[in-house]
Chain A
Amino acid sequence: MDKAELMGRYREHVLETGHPPASVYAFTKSFGASERDFFEQFASFDALESGIWRTAVDETVAKVQESDDWEGFTAQQKLLTFHFAFTDQILNHRSFFLARFPRTTDRPGWPSKQLHGMRDSFVPFAKSIVDTGMERSEIVCRGPLNRGYPQGLFLHFLTVVDFNLNDDSQGFERTDAFVEKSVRLAFDLIGTQAIDSAADLVRFLFRRKS
């Protein structure tokens, strides 16, 4: 029994009953497998859900990188393409996302443990985008601060998913607009000297006072 099959059965169970199975025992029994089959793949239901979110990201990343234009895209275009592809991916499993995806409103503890798998998949991808941006000088070099960007993009990614799940506009058009606008803002912030200039000014004023 592989991970994909377990994830599929788990998803089905949640969608049909509206809640996770009572126990791994009950879950595996329902399709004639053993607990061992489950635990060989996942340590818990949380780990399984984490795997589901991670897979969604993995699949999207693989898909967007396949396209012909990919190499020619700017960092911003790459990131946008990813987000649009991911919202499209959500469409395949929207009910499950709605039922189980950890939301920003679930604070405290957000982003929760279940999202770690997703993060582990997204962050290296985001790092490759940041690297593209640095090469193309779309992103201003700010030394160690740049290392935080992939993490920042991950938080942004979660807000996009969250926005999408709350979106009730036709064809989820508002999500598209949100992606466009927020990505543009993000790149404006990391792509210009505005923040550096602000920081410079603050430092200057601060020195004068002391």
Chain B
Amino acid sequence: MAQEQTSIPSNRASRVAALAGAGAQVGVNYLKHYGRRVVGSEPATDTLHEQNADVVYDAFSKLKGGPLKLAQMLSIDKNMLPEAYRNQFAQAQYSAPPLSYPLVVKTFQREFGKKPLEIFDTFSKEAAHGASIGQVHRAAIGDKTFAVKVQYPGVADSLNSDLAIVKPIALRIMGMSERDFAPYITEVQKRLLEETDYELELKRSIELSKNSRSLKNIRFPDYYPEYSGKRVIVMDWIDGIPLDQYAENEASKEKRNQVAQSIWDFYHFQIHTLLRFHADPHPGNFLVDENNAVVALDFGCTKEITRQYRDDYFRFLDPALLEDREGFEAAMRKLDLILEEDSLQEIDLILHNAMLGTKLLGRPFYEKSFDFGDEDFMKSIYEFGERQRTDRDLKQMKTARGSPDSIYLNRAYFGLYSLMGLLRAEISARSPGTRESS
């Protein structure tokens, strides 16, 4: 596995982010959107840290259900107006109240022909907490405790109609044509449908935890296929502090850094070595246990990329490329970020912005260690996004750009940056196993 890593363009600075390709497009919208609330009207710096964490967490915890996920992903990938987005999608918001116990019983009977209490000694009637398309109950056999995830009924079924509701709104906001939009929506639909497939999720969870066993300071619950089915997944109940609470608590900077570094390394291992990654890094998917180790949960949404695509994508992190306009342009073309039909003027505009964006968003990778608690970084991302948003020339470009594959890679990096910000952590953004330029 270590050898595989050498094929990554591996200047220290050349290893990250989503930032890359889209440069301009990336998580900018999202970051700037939250950045606005952080840096906007409230210049009192002492409260900035707290707000930062709150805001980012809020944003993620609220995004549930099909339309919101779609919205989330499109807004990350496309240069979408955050205001318009927020207002429009607030109306389409889908929030699922908890499943009633009788329905959980019915689900069990349908899956296993047994009631929960015929399988477990105890089973909580109320959900312990929610999951994006289901909820988690606590159960026990003897003194062994389990987390039982139960899916909402009809989720898969309602998904398509949910997407149908969002589509026209998204089209309007982004000013895209149906045809340009189709590949993106297909990609999102595919991933979302996968997410409703608990049998697949079980398989992926087991695979991923097996493959990642060698990583330090990160652990996974055991999964129990014998109690799992189409609508139910059973795993170990792990006591730990949810990441968002952990970040708010009094954990020392060293501890937070350790947690952040473990998560960061985990993602780089997935993206670069496994070429399949968990595309939804948000605080709800991580716990921190009593030894300060990270527990990773919930692998419903994973994305596979090809080695070729990864190489093309991460090429942007080569700092030399930032000085090499032609090379940069070639790399952009490879990812369909510059298209055949673009005029010279358009190419200039795109290149200019993408290089700026890449430089800015790639910063964590150019430095030996990077402090995500740095407000100035957030602020410059926000300002950059704001300039992009208001730029009249950029606004006029409506063609869809970039491969649909980038949606989830960008999303993963956006989530990762947010987590790092949440933890106010200083980490080394190098991927595990890679050293200085080879």
Contacts and interface: CB of A to CB of B under 8 A. Distances in A.
A84 B157 contact: no
Contact of B106 (A68, A84, A170): A84
B86 interface: no
Contacts of A80: 100, 102-103
Interface string A79-106: 0110010001000000000000000000
Interface in B64-116: 97, 99-103, 105-106, 110, 115
Contact of B103 (A67, A68, A84, A88): A84
Contacts of A173: 153-154, 157
Contacts of B105: 81, 84
- Interface residues of B, dominant DSSP: helix
A174 B157 contact: yes
Nearest to B101: A77
Contacts of A81: 102, 105
A22 B389 CA distance: 74
A189 to B, nearest CB: 15
Interface stretch (A107-115, A121-129, A176-184, A194-202): A176-184
Contacts of B158: 174, 177
B162 to A, nearest CB: 13
A143 interface: no
26 contacts: A67-B115, A73-B102, A77-B100, A77-B101, A80-B102, A81-B102, A84-B103, A84-B105, A84-B106, A169-B154, A173-B153, A173-B154, A174-B154, A174-B157, A174-B158, A176-B103, A176-B106, A177-B152, A177-B153, A177-B154, A179-B103, A180-B100, A180-B103, A183-B100, A184-B97, A184-B100
Contacts of A171: 110
Interface of B: 97, 99-103, 105-106, 110, 115, 117, 152-154, 157-158
B166 to A, nearest CB: 19
B103 A170 contact: no
Contacts of A77: 100-102
Contact of A76 (B100, B110, B157): B100
A69 B104 CA distance: 13
Contacts of A73: 102
A88 B158 CA distance: 21
- Interface residues of A, dominant DSSP: helix
Contacts of A180: 99-100, 103, 153
B430 to A, nearest CB: 47
Contacts of B103: 80, 84, 176, 179-180
Given A81-B105, A177-B158, 18 more contacts: A73-B102, A77-B100, A77-B102, A80-B100, A84-B105, A88-B106, A169-B157, A170-B157, A173-B153, A174-B153, A174-B158, A176-B106, A176-B153, A176-B154, A180-B100, A180-B103, A180-B153, A183-B100
The residue among B97, B99, B105 with the most chain A CB atoms within 10 A of its own CB is: B105
Interface of A: 67-69, 73, 76-77, 80-81, 84, 88, 169-171, 173-174, 176-177, 179-180, 183-184
B109 to A, nearest CB: 8
A183 B115 CA distance: 22
Contacts of B106: 84, 88, 176
A80 to B, nearest CB: 4
A77 B103 CA distance: 9
A179 to B, nearest CB: 8
Contacts of A183: 100
A73 B101 CA distance: 9
A180 B105 CA distance: 13
B112 to A, nearest CB: 14
A173 B107 CA distance: 10
Contacts of A177: 152-154, 158
B150 to A, nearest CB: 12
B156 to A, nearest CB: 8
A174 to B, nearest CB: 5
Contacts of B101: 77
Contacts of B153: 173-174, 176-177, 180
Nearest to B157: A169
B366 to A, nearest CB: 50
B100 to A, nearest CB: 5
Nearest to A171: B110
A176 B103 CA distance: 8
Contacts of A76: 100
A202 to B, nearest CB: 28
Contacts of B97: 184
Contacts of A184: 97, 100
A160 to B, nearest CB: 13
A81 B109 CA distance: 12
Contacts of A88: 106
Nearest to A88: B106
A169 B115 CA distance: 23
Contacts of B154: 169, 173-174, 176-177
Contacts of A169: 154, 157
Contacts of A170: 157
B171 to A, nearest CB: 27
A135 B154 CA distance: 33
A173 B99 CA distance: 13
Contacts of B102: 73, 77, 80-81, 84
The residue among A173, A174, A183 with the most chain B CB atoms within 10 A of its own CB is: A173
A177 B158 CA distance: 10
A2 to B, nearest CB: 31
Contacts of A69: 117
A180 B154 CA distance: 11
